[in-house]
Amino acid sequence: MSAALLAVEGLQVGFDTERGPLRAVDGLSLQVDEGEVVAIVGESGSGKSAAALAIMGLSGREGASVAGSVRLEGEELIGAPQRRLREIRGARIAMVFQDPMSSLNPVRRIGDQIAEQIRAHERLPRAQARERAVASLRRAGIADAERRAHAYPHELSGGLRQRAMIAMALSCSPQLIIADEPTTALDVTIQAQVLSELARLRAEDGTAVLLITHDLGVVAGIADRVVVMYAGQAVEQGSAEQVFADPQHPCTWGLLGSIPRIESERAQRLASIPGAPPSPLALPPGCRFAERCPHAFERCAEPVELLARAAPDGGRDAGGSREGHDDLERAERARVAPGHLDRCVLAPELKRARRLVGGRIGL
Amino acid sequence: MIVFALRRIAAMVAVLFAISVLTFLLFQVIPNGDPAVRLAGRTATPREIADVRRQWGFDKPVYVQYLRTMEQIMTGQVVSYTQQVNVIEQIGRDLPATISLTVGAGVIWLIGGVILGLAGALLSEGGRLARLADRLLGALAMAGISTPTFLLGDVLLFYLGYRAHLFPLGGYVPLTEDPVGWLTHMILPWLTLAILFTGFYARVLRSTVLDTMREPYVRTARAKGLSERRVLFAHVLRNSLLPIVALWGLDLAAVLGGGALLTETVFNLHGVGQYAAQSIQSLDIPPILVITMLTAFLVVVFSALTDIVHAALDPRVRLR
Amino acid sequence: MSERAHDPSPALLEMEDVSVRFASARRRGAGVRALDGVSLTVGAGETVGVVGESGCGKTTLIRCAARLTDVDGGRIIFEGREITRASRRALRPVRGGMQVVFQDPEGSLNPRRRVGAILATPLRLRGVPRSRLGAETAALLAEVGMAAEHAERYPHELSGGQRQRVGIARALATRPRLLLLDEPVSALDVSVQAQIVNLLEELRRRHGLSCLFVAHDLAIVAHVSDRIAVMYLGRIVESGPAETLLRAPIHPYTQALIAALPTPDPSVPAPTAPPPPPEQVDCGPPAGCRFADRCPHADELCRTVEPPLTEHPGGRAAACHHPLSAGAAGDPGRASSTRALGCESRPRR
């Protein structure tokens, strides 16, 4: 293992519900290196937020059982004593939540809430912690930080609240920030600000970011690597270039096709994913995406592993479409793009042809 | 702030007017409520009754009677029908006992309610045994809420006072005369009144604590690396107490205004509540009117105070 | 009526110089101008998109059109009938003709009523007899891509996308000519968002609906609209046919909104963020252009004189002293803030 900051292996997050046990996350593996931005993308219910909470060691509180391995610079976090996890939370891994309004305590001042986190990790007099809080508000791009520190959450606009959340995450200079849908509740213009703020922090401080979102469009400008999740599993992962230029899994195609673009033809349908995700209580044994996939065939009823299948050339020269998926699959396995994994057995050539809908990638 | 004060004063005037008119009218239409008959005595002749009626002004139109009574109340001249003592002075004599009862019991039930409510909420999140304990607490709270005050008071008096001689058998001793006597006389009434409210407060707090624990900002607090104790007190409990504070202010006002008439009567405290109970028995309008208005006055004042405290604790609340 | 019959593009909804003030919570006298002289026309079969950041007044616009908010000035005309100050009773026949779909499907559906009951109310208003309710409900649900069984469910048993489908079905129940859509997809995942956008497009074509579509996301507005109006702090700052407005924005704010859109392509640089919006000021916007303090091109003129909404060639209009694009090259016409989004630009179909 090289300089893996965070290494997640075979992460399982399960819940006992009234209608039986379910697996919100089913064997997720990913790695975040120092100063890297990794995005987890998926529809709601795909398990991406459950994975984030499990990495923070917070899902036990919410009634989940967690298995697998989460290592921070080699130190195993799953099963670590709460005391140790508390030292890590906020100080080395910090979290930014989706809705800054409900994620900040409404009756306490912004500055106090940040100072509280600083004092939980460092022995500092109150006044000094407050100064640090103001400094980190400033660092998160808040003009007039002094005055904002005195404000209550409801006195700030949505964008400022999210910046305050980011300031809080920054306050102890963490190595990793987990941002769970940090821009979903925000206007597009504010979203752009928050994203450029995250990018700037990564550039200036080398803070790694695990960005969790349902919107692949948000990810392109900022992520180094992308993990696409569906029904608790990673269905595709690779570098941002690989995933956007040569997406292998139909779920990724659908997520890309869902994004409306201003240059697209007005009357054109969005090449989105039809239907709804399967119930996590009754998952099919084969490909979990098959029932929503227009390209599914017999082989999709069998379990599919996450493997490197994509061609190394990034799919730029689309070859002739030959039939006989399994032969091709075997042949392709010899020369595949490193680090570009997916869970679809369709032959790469076929994928290249089928993912184009009206000249763009879609489902 | 000025707008707030003016609004509340206007509200108070309106409430006092409405409540006094209603009370007055209520006793006008009650059968057997003719005060002249009772004032004149059992053996009075119709002529004597007529004299009393003229003398006390009961022959005048209702609104004249109302205005006259209100004038007497405002100038402190109002006299009760049955014993013909000055009502305001009587209430002044009764107030110390009521205040002693209210403040002591109020503190006990607030603290008790918060402790039991918090314990219940924490236990309900725990293992099987803890959840059982929470159920038990819940059942106790229900028992506390539903036990009639007169029964509970009498039982306590009988066993702890009469049988065990631990406490005196009722009555009130002023704090200024004999602090120890005051305390021993007040403990049983405090407990009796507080048990009722403690159960209620515990249930309210338990459910607000459970709701608050599910708030995203509590998750944020954990994600910050705070200790469980800090999460519980600085975030969960602090925010859960807001509705309790509002409730407490209003309950205190009601009890101060004679709302604890059963407790006061059982323990013979000679408080405002007991006075109200006696006056109702004898259909004595002036004290009833004054006490009702006192209660309304206190409720309005205390709710204004609670709003001020609430606004100080919760920046989202604006005084208006 | 006869006059309207000759109109080449009969306007379904006309809003002329509409203003709404909200009383200020903090200061007396000073009111927030939620809408300040907004004029907008929705032609038959046309979709007009309104885009802007939160607080720009776009939701108030929808509420005015639906007469859910009272108007302080201007006129609202629906199907040739002035409804600006129409009473509840007078509105009743109009209501069926236009329906609102709200942003938050969870908040706008009664949680204690089953989907069937939620749909039955508007169906009954349309005069559907009780005996046909079941069939009509099933037909409505099928129309929005749901199964008849869903009529038995409560809103909380549905997913966000399904709830929004129910919201649309409820709006369709009265057979409206005009749909007023207030951020109908912004609470949803992109994939579900796309499904709902596709569904709306399908329904619009099938029933020849007109739409007023309001959202903060220019990409979605662009996808569904024939014409677009860009709103900023209670005013329309630019309007025009969708393609030209997006290709060559005239107003710097429109350009900023376009620049803020993320592109699903790592080779394209990350979206640029416009400077943060100013704080809400109770006493209303300052003199001069409202966008001046965020605008890279602002000069002294912009800070002192408010630019009027001026007509530009190609059915466009913008309120800017320093218009950006080639589309503005022609002689800017005379100020005519009341007929800005007139019937000049025709629906494409």
How does pLDDT run across A74-96, given as a tens digit for each residue?
A: 999 999 999 999 999 999 999 99
Strands C11-23 and C31-43: antiparallel
Considering only the beta carbons, identify the residue of A90, A97, A108 that sits closest to B225. Answer: A90
Give chains near B: 3+ CB pairs under 8 A. A
B48-66 average pLDDT score? 82
First to last CA, chain A: 36
Q: A330 CA to chain C: closest CA distance, Å?
A: 30
Task: Kindly list the residues from chain A whose CB atom is less than 8 angstroms away from the CB atom of residue C214.
Answer: none
Between chain A and chain C, the number of residue pairs with CB atoms below 8 A apart is 150
Tell me which of A141-150, A299-308, B167-176 is least confident: B167-176
Q: B113 CA to chain A: closest CA distance, Å?
A: 22
What letter would DSSP give residue C34?
E
Residue A7 bridge partners (DSSP): A31, A71
Scanning every residue of chain A, which has its alpha carbon at the shortest distance from the alpha carbon of C54? Answer: A187
Cβ burial B115-136 (10 Å sphere, 16+ → b, else e) = ebbbbbbbbbeeeeeeeebbee
Scanning every residue of chain C, which has its alpha carbon at the shortest distance from the alpha carbon of A251? Answer: C191
CA–CA dist C302, C289 (Å, integer): 5
Given an 8 Å threshold on Cβ–Cβ distance, is A155 in contact with B315?
yes
What letter would DSSP give residue A3?
S
CA–CA dist A252, C190 (Å, integer): 12
| Helix residue ranges per DSSP H, C158-299 | 160-172, 190-207, 218-224, 242-247, 252-259
Dihedral sign computed on CA atoms, order C182, C188, C189, C194: negative
Task: Kindly list the residues from chain A whose CB atom is less than 8 angstroms away from the CB atom of residue C223.
Answer: 260-262, 264, 266, 270
The DSSP H or E segment spanning A211 is strand A208-213
Residue C35 bridge partners (DSSP): C20
pLDDT tens sequence across A183-206:
887 888 888 888 888 888 889 889
Task: Kindly list the residues from chain B whose CB atom is less than 8 angstroms away from the CB atom of residue A97.
Answer: 216, 219-220, 223
Chain C interface includes A357 (CB < 8 A): no
**pLDDT, greater one: A38 or B58:** A38
**pLDDT, greater one: B317 or C115:** C115
Q: A192 CA to chain C: closest CA distance, Å?
A: 5
Tell me the HSE value of B250 on the side-chain side, using a 13 A CA sphere: 8
Task: Kindly list the residues from chain A whose CB atom is less than 8 angstroms away from the CB atom of residue B241.
Answer: none
Name residues 143-202 of chain A within 8 A of C (Cβ): 157-160, 187-193, 195-196, 199
Task: Kindly list the residues from chain A whose CB atom is less than 8 angstroms away from the CB atom of residue B313.
Answer: 107
What is C225-240 written as a DSSP string? -SEEEEEETTEEEEEE
B196-207 average pLDDT score? 93
Mean pLDDT taken over chain B: 87
Chain B interface includes A122 (CB < 8 A): no
pLDDT tens sequence across C171-224:
999 999 999 999 999 888 999 999 999 999 999 999 999 999 999 999 999 999
Please tell me the pTM assigned to this model. Answer: 0.85
Given an 8 Å threshold on Cβ–Cβ distance, is A90 in contact with B227?
no
Task: Kindly list the residues from chain A whose CB atom is less than 8 angstroms away from the CB atom of residue C104.
Answer: none
Structure tokens at A61: 């509180």
Given an 8 Å threshold on Cβ–Cβ distance, is A61 in contact with B235?
no
Q: How many CB atoms lie within 10 A of CB C107?
A: 11
The pLDDT score that the predictor gives to residue B106 is 94
Give chains near A: 3+ CB pairs under 8 A. B, C
The pLDDT score that the predictor gives to residue B293 is 87
CA–CA dist B83, A82 (Å, integer): 71
Chain A interface includes B317 (CB < 8 A): no
The pLDDT score that the predictor gives to residue C210 is 95
What is B214-264 written as a DSSP string? TSHHHHHHHHTT--HHHIIIIIIIHHHHHHHHHHHHHHHHHIIIIITHHHH
pLDDT band at A313 (very low <50, low <70, confident <90, very high): low
B15-19 average pLDDT score? 88
Residue A321 pLDDT more than 80? no
Chain C interface includes A218 (CB < 8 A): yes
What are the two backbone dihedrals, phi and then psi, of residue C132, each rounded to the nearest 5 degrees?
Answer: -100, 0
Contact in structure between A231 and A46 (CB atoms under 8 Å):
yes
Contact in structure between C84 and C74 (CB atoms under 8 Å):
yes
Distance from chain centroid for Cα B250: 8
pLDDT band at A325 (very low <50, low <70, confident <90, very high): low
Considering only the beta carbons, identify the residue of A216, A260, A261 that sits closest to C197. Answer: A260
- The amino acid that residue B25 corresponds to is L
**Which of the residues in chain C have pLDDT under 70?**
1-9, 23-32, 105, 276-286, 325-349
Q: C138 CA to chain A: closest CA distance, Å?
A: 19
A202-to-A195, C267, C295 alpha-carbon distances in Å = 11, 19, 28
Crossing angle for the helix pair A158-170 and A110-121, to the nearest 10 degrees: 10
Chain A interface includes B224 (CB < 8 A): yes
Task: Kindly list the residues from chain B whose CB atom is less than 8 angstroms away from the CB atom of residue A120.
Answer: 224-227, 230
Name residues 232-261 of chain A within 8 A of C (Cβ): 240-241, 244-245, 254-261
The pLDDT score that the predictor gives to residue B24 is 82
Domains and CATH numbers, chain B: 98-282 (1.10.3720.10)
Considering only the beta carbons, identify the residue of C193, C194, C246 that sits closest to A262. Answer: C246
Chain C interface includes A273 (CB < 8 A): yes
Q: A57 CA to chain B: closest CA distance, Å?
A: 9
Of all residues in chain B, the percent with pLDDT exceeding 70 is 98
Q: B217 CA to chain A: closest CA distance, Å?
A: 4
CA–CA dist B69, B79 (Å, integer): 9
Considering only the beta carbons, identify the residue of A218, A223, A273 that sits closest to C191. Answer: A273
Considering only the beta carbons, identify the residue of B216, B224, B316 that sits closest to A99. Answer: B216
Considering only the beta carbons, identify the residue of C162, C193, C218 that sits closest to A188. Answer: C218
Given an 8 Å threshold on Cβ–Cβ distance, is C223 in contact with A260?
yes
Cβ-Cβ contacts under 8 Å for B74 (sequence gap 6 or more)? none
Chain A interface includes B135 (CB < 8 A): no
The DSSP H or E segment spanning A33 is strand A20-33
The pLDDT score that the predictor gives to residue A320 is 43
Chain C interface includes A328 (CB < 8 A): no
Return the closest-CA partner of residue A11 out of A47, A43, A42: A47
A312-339 average pLDDT score? 57
Residue A22 bridge partners (DSSP): A15
Distance from chain centroid for Cα A279: 21
**How many residues appear in chain A?**
363
B12-19 average pLDDT score? 88
Considering only the beta carbons, identify the residue of A58, A87, A108 that sits closest to B219. Answer: A58
Given an 8 Å threshold on Cβ–Cβ distance, is A258 in contact with C201?
no
Mean pLDDT taken over chain A: 88
CA–CA dist B273, B259 (Å, integer): 6
pLDDT tens sequence across A238-278:
999 999 999 999 999 999 999 988 876 666 788 889 988 88
The pLDDT score that the predictor gives to residue A136 is 93
CA–CA dist C190, A353 (Å, integer): 24
Q: Which of A83, A96, A105, A210 is the best substitution to test chain B (most B C-beta atoms within 10 A)?
A: A105
Considering only the beta carbons, identify the residue of C225, C264, C273 that sits closest to A189. Answer: C273
Given an 8 Å threshold on Cβ–Cβ distance, is B217 in contact with A116?
no
CA–CA dist A253, A228 (Å, integer): 11
Contact in structure between B263 and B149 (CB atoms under 8 Å):
yes
Rounded to two decimals, the ipTM of the complex is 0.86
Cβ-defined contacts of A260-264 (< 8 Å, 24+): A260/C194, A260/C197, A260/C217, A260/C219, A260/C220, A260/C222, A260/C223, A261/A360, A261/C219, A261/C223, A261/C263, A261/C264, A262/C218, A262/C219, A262/C222, A262/C223, A262/C246, A262/C258, A262/C261, A263/C246, A264/A360, A264/C223
Q: A223 CA to chain C: closest CA distance, Å?
A: 8
Given an 8 Å threshold on Cβ–Cβ distance, is A58 in contact with B221?
no
Contact in structure between C75 and C16 (CB atoms under 8 Å):
yes
Strands (E), chain C: 11-23, 31-43, 47-51, 73-78, 81-82, 98-101, 178-182, 210-215, 227-232, 235-241, 310-312, 316-318
Q: A112 CA to chain B: closest CA distance, Å?
A: 11
Structure tokens at C51: 């885009």
